[in-house]
Structure 1
Amino acid sequence: MAKAQLMDFDKALEMFEPVIGLEVHVELSTKSKMFSSAPNPAYGEAFGAEPNTQITPLDIGLPGSLPVVNEQAVRYSIQLGLALGCSIAESSRFARKNYFYPDLGKNYQISQYDEPIAYEGSVEVELENGRVFHVPIERAHMEEDAGKLTHVGGATGRIQGAEYSLVDYNRAGVPLVEIVTKPIVGAEADAPELARAYVSTIRDIVRALGVSNARMERGNLRCDANVSLRPRGQEKFGTRTETKNVNSFRSIERAVRYEIQRQAAILAAGGTIQQETRHWHEDTGTTSPGRPKSDADDYRYFPEPDLLPVAPPAELIGQLRAALPESPAAMRRRLKGEWGFTDNEFRDVVNSGLLAELVDTVRAGATPAAARKWWTGEIARLANAQGVEPSSLVNPQQVAQIAQLVESGELTDRLARQVLEGVIAGEGTPGEVIEKRGLRVVSDDSALLAAIDEALAAQPDVLAKIKDGKVQAAGAVIGAVMKAMKGQADAARVRELVLERAAQ
């Protein structure tokens, strides 16, 4: 496949106005699936189960099997709709979305179409430059997830070049809420960042509600990014593409930016944009064609005949509304004050997409400063090197334990980094890694004094310099002691002991 031509991003914006739309799929953390009693593999022990073991006849489309609505999934969907500022429908209904694909055993998906559970909302999103957007929500509707295909024999793990594909129906029927925005105009050069920040805000919302684990690396939260361009001064929207199932914040931003540049190059050359789905390739930072994108009419929606409309009582909606947590925007304002971060420090945290991890880490016992240091520093560095989300490497409880060990003096920063590496490598809890690797700080002054005396003996002039008031000369001894102790000494304590020796 020929490499796509790209236009310079700034030049593309001079010629065209970007219009984006975002569809975020949130897997709900119910114990069972949307319409069957099978365990929900997005929740608890069912995650990672052997293929095709978490299924019922309904999940694989066997004749005679009938769906039953998961009440908890409906409650979660209402909560999410309310948190998005949506109106909740007095009555909504399910529909059959008809299309053939191997991971849909029934050959249709039970979804919602013209009568969603929630509609007409808005989400406040703040960008790195301080610009605030109110992203308009068209609807949030309930549906079931499809199964998962594994493509075997190709070099990339994708369907292109594969010899055959295997289907796992464990995920088929997992409860989903799909959040669909209206077309977002006016973002201009901020469009890629806005897409990333919006999905990050959605994750913060669903985590605060407790309705989803929202782990992107597990597919609990996935985004389809729609992008179109229209020439400056034109009212009519351009033809859109839909980049499917982008599963990291960084990739969402990159995918939107790439599509703007790709489409601009095609349009400027007199070409036309194909309405299609596209695949995102993390390794190359490019998209490639998927299938022609169907319009709603092509899916032949009609009311699901086996399910009654969903009509939540007004009392239930009132109860769920009263129990809503504070909004992400309000929470950010509160946390910034409570944590004492500067504007730049707090903006760095928000832009990293790690605010939820910091909140959980502080809740687990770390100081805000320590939580920020570890998540946006060493953990983010390791995650970037591996091309994964930081939250996939370590959890907040483990980070809090490491931070507390540093705070108490049981670990130095250097040792703590080694402990972190061990935890990420699967060697156990921080305490277990410390024991296995022998990483605890040497707190025995006699052992430290022995190492100090040895270092002073090797550098006899240093002691005289310190006694003459040249305290900075102690650095050479401290470095030698730290090396001899393999980094397992507290440098501050070593310095105290060196100066005590010089005073004798």
Structure 2
Amino acid sequence: MEFETVIGLEIHAQLKTATKIFCGCSTKFGAPPNSNTCPICLGMPGVLPVLNKKVVEFAIKFGLATNAKINRFSQFARKNYFYPDLPKGYQTSQFDLPIIGRGEIEIEVDGQTRPIGITRAHMEEDAGKLIHDEVEPVSHVDLNRTGTPLLEIVSEPDIRSPAEAAAYLKKIHAILRYLDICDGNMQEGSFRCDANISLRPVGQDELGTRTELKNMNSFRNVQSALEFEVRRQRDILLDGGTIVQETLLWNPDKNCSESMRGKEDAHDYRYFPCPDLVPVEISEEWIDEVRHLLPELPDQRKARFIDQYDLPEYDAVLLTADREVAEYFEQTVKGGAQAKKASNWIMTELMRELKGDAISSCRVSPSQLAALLTMVEKNTISGKIAKTVFTDMMASGDDPATIVQEKNLAQVSDVGELLALVKEIVAANPAQAEDYRAGKSKLMGFFVGQLMQKTKGQANPQLANELFSKELGG
């Protein structure tokens, strides 16, 4: 029997506001435990929340960026459940009247583009964090994160493979970062994803029993967890078993999912309108104001890079996946570098040197990279030497001209100097010279290599080839 995979993702994006959603406490990450708290976010009796207007603006931005319906009237609700990191005994969220309705984005997998629907996006507050002691069998509660504003983005069950899920997640991540409403840091928990997944026989309309996957803190883990769950569910169904509706935790160390608890349905949370908050009403004028604040989005920038800089689509996709990388590329080109060469360098040398770190940690400025590439273009240094210079630039932050001068790395282009060395090398290798003249043209690499050794890699390779061709051709 063949099965179809059905996946829906729930993304929790922490919004980049300075203060929490219903109080004035800081949202800064890394503060001492329980220091960014107050009676409101701790849920003390008699306190009243006040909605942070910036949270609403950010939600509108996301809705506009995903061609979604902006609901002019939305309402907060109480989501009731008990957990140690939830001091009020309920989470203030939105249920039947969310701020953002149906939207849509496009993803591309294996050269195929198709739309993925967004069911809704709603505002809510985050819970706290449990810290489990590694020595004693106790857990500590840090409520700093309690009340941090979240935008929960719920997809339609339109995703048909783990690869599509990863592509959808990356696209939403990029949109949020371009809008500058979420920093997207999965390690710090400011961009989190839960996945609902089920299998059904091909051709069947009814959805299968779903499981929910949690604890996936990277794009790779999301795809790996979903691939594992597809195999697990498929094996159960082929053996005649039934899928249990449950919540699973992904264990990246064991590369498998582990049962956490039974999966709840909406009625288990006993949602009801929050009596402490008035409904949110949004005017058309406010929506228009926010629309004018929208930046160039990933798909728009990709199309422009292809048109303006004549880049291949592959380059444009990679460069625009991250807003900071795209801006770094453009600043490098503005600094005088050729677009394609800047693209190649950023996608290879720069990314290799960063080793997965954000480009904001790069010590080489776009203008410095442009200067380095210009030196290669003008034959001041060779491409090989440029890689060595770039490594030094990443370590020191110095300008390329300074490094080249201090280490005497300038390319040797003096015809007289190189010709003397060429004659010396040909004379010292008569057998290879005869073989070259007899038609073994690949030996040119041998001769140029000898010259590079003598000049410590600083000989102008184009000039070297020309000089050897004349000397050996005689």
TM band (smaller chain): 0.7 to 0.9
> Does residue 133 of structure 1 match 2:114?
yes
The letter for the 1-side match of 2:153 is I
The letter for the 2-side match of 1:461 is A
Change in Cα spacing, 1:167 to 1:81, as seen in structure 2 (3 Å) is same
- Residues 86-105 of structure 1 mapped to structure 2, 5 A cutoff: 86-105=68-87
For residue 369 of structure 1, the aligned residue among 329, 340, 343 is 340
Match of 2:5 in 1: 18
Gaps of 5+ in 1: 1-13, 42-46, 155-161
Q: Which moved more, 1:15-24 or 1:354-363?
A: 354-363
Tell me the distance in 2 between the aligned counterparts of 1:396 and 1:112: 43
- Cα deviation, 1:20-42, whole Å, max 9, x if unaligned, reads 1011222211121211212222x
- Residues 439-478 of structure 1 mapped to structure 2, 5 A cutoff: 442-443=409-410, 461=428, 472=444, 474-478=447-451
- Residues 50-199 of structure 1 mapped to structure 2, 5 A cutoff: 50-129=32-111, 131-153=112-134, 163-184=137-158, 187=160, 191-199=161-169
Tell me the distance in 1 between the aligned counterparts of 2:188 and 2:381: 32
CA contact (8 A) 2:49 2:277 kept: yes
TM-superposed deviation, 1:353: 7.8
CA contact (8 A) 2:320 2:326 kept: no
Q: Secondary structure at the match of 1:274?
A: coil
TM-superposed deviation, 1:442: 2.1
Q: Between Structure 1 and Structure 2, how many residues are aligned?
A: 458
The letter for the 1-side match of 2:99 is I
Change in Cα spacing, 1:36 to 1:393, as seen in structure 2 (3 Å) is same
Change in Cα spacing, 1:264 to 1:315, as seen in structure 2 (3 Å) is same
Change in Cα spacing, 1:64 to 1:354, as seen in structure 2 (3 Å) is same
TM-superposed deviation, 1:51: 3.3
Q: Secondary structure at the match of 2:25?
A: coil
Q: Secondary structure at the match of 1:171?
A: coil
The letter for the 2-side match of 1:166 is H
Tell me the distance in 2 between the aligned counterparts of 1:460 and 1:324: 68
TM-align CA RMSD = 4.0
CA contact (8 A) 1:151 1:165 kept: yes
TM-superposed deviation, 1:309: 1.1
Match of 2:299 in 1: 329
Tell me the distance in 1 between the aligned counterparts of 2:220 and 2:349: 18
Match of 2:14 in 1: 27
CA contact (8 A) 1:196 1:249 kept: yes
Tell me the distance in 1 between the aligned counterparts of 2:419 and 2:85: 67
TM-superposed deviation, 1:178: 0.9
- Cα deviation, 1:165-208, whole Å, max 9, x if unaligned, reads 333333222221111012116x3xxx222111111211222222
- Cα deviation, 1:278-300, whole Å, max 9, x if unaligned, reads 22233443322222221111112
TM-score (norm: length of structure 2):
0.81
Change in Cα spacing, 1:69 to 1:422, as seen in structure 2 (3 Å) is farther
Change in Cα spacing, 1:25 to 1:417, as seen in structure 2 (3 Å) is farther
Tell me the distance in 1 between the aligned counterparts of 2:151 and 2:2: 36
The letter for the 1-side match of 2:290 is L
Tell me the distance in 1 between the aligned counterparts of 2:71 and 2:417: 76
- Residues 276-355 of structure 1 mapped to structure 2, 5 A cutoff: 276-343=246-313, 345-346=314-315, 350=317, 354-355=321-322
The letter for the 2-side match of 1:476 is G
Tell me the distance in 2 between the aligned counterparts of 1:52 and 1:413: 53
CA contact (8 A) 1:121 1:137 kept: yes
Gaps of 5+ in 2: none
TM-score (norm: length of structure 1):
0.77
Larger Rg: 2
Tell me the distance in 1 between the aligned counterparts of 2:252 and 2:343: 27
Match of 2:213 in 1: 243
Change in Cα spacing, 1:270 to 1:379, as seen in structure 2 (3 Å) is farther
- Cα deviation, 1:384-423, whole Å, max 9, x if unaligned, reads xx7xx55378459746644542433487655665676678
Change in Cα spacing, 1:441 to 1:35, as seen in structure 2 (3 Å) is farther
CA contact (8 A) 1:19 1:184 kept: yes
Q: Secondary structure at the match of 2:286?
A: helix
For residue 231 of structure 1, the aligned residue among 195, 201, 209 is 201
Q: Which moved more, 1:204-213 or 1:322-331?
A: 322-331
Tell me the distance in 2 between the aligned counterparts of 1:267 and 1:370: 52
Q: Which moved more, 1:308-317 or 1:279-288?
A: 279-288
Tell me the distance in 2 between the aligned counterparts of 1:326 and 1:353: 11
- Cα deviation, 1:1-59, whole Å, max 9, x if unaligned, reads xxxxxxxxxxxxx6211111011222211121211212222xxxxx4333333333333
Change in Cα spacing, 1:460 to 1:341, as seen in structure 2 (3 Å) is same
Match of 2:171 in 1: 201
Tell me the distance in 2 between the aligned counterparts of 1:52 and 1:106: 15
Match of 1:221 in 2: 191
The letter for the 2-side match of 1:356 is R
> Does residue 405 of structure 1 match 2:386?
no
Tell me the distance in 2 between the aligned counterparts of 1:171 and 1:397: 34
Match of 1:8 in 2: none
Identity of aligned residues (%): 36
